[in-house]
Amino acid sequence: MEIMIVVAIIALLAAIAIPNLLRAKMSSNDALAQSTLRALSTSAEAYGIAHNGDYPGDIDSLTGATPPYVNVNYCTTNLISGYTYDCSGMLTSGYIIIARPASMGITGSTNYTITSGGVLSAGGNY
């Protein structure tokens, strides 16, 4: 009887703790996505300063430079901590980079977008 009570208490604690852990993981994925977008934006802005105001036309301009503006090609990597990154909006006149969660509500809470000048926004169906 005592063992059943102990098992019931452990099950109750697990039922309370597991959703909190999943929310914490999703929150950390969101923070990493925002940080990654800011790093890509900072790299694109630095590239623009070094190239007379022309932004990089693609991610390879940032990763292929010597020394590279950013070391990891986030845009061709399939999944990074629950998010994928879309750099197809990188043009020499400006950029739009989008971070999308692989599974909305599980790996991330929303889409994040950063545009020329480092303007970060959340939400939307990009």
- Res 124 pLDDT > 70: no
Nearest to 120 by CA among 102, 103, 96, 101: 96
Q: Rounded to whole angstroms, how far apart are CA atoms 42 and 26?
A: 24
Residue 22 DSSP SS3: helix
* Domain definitions of the chain by residue range: 2-122
Give the tens place of pLDDT for each residue, 19-59: 888 889 999 999 999 999 999 999 999 999 999 999 999 99
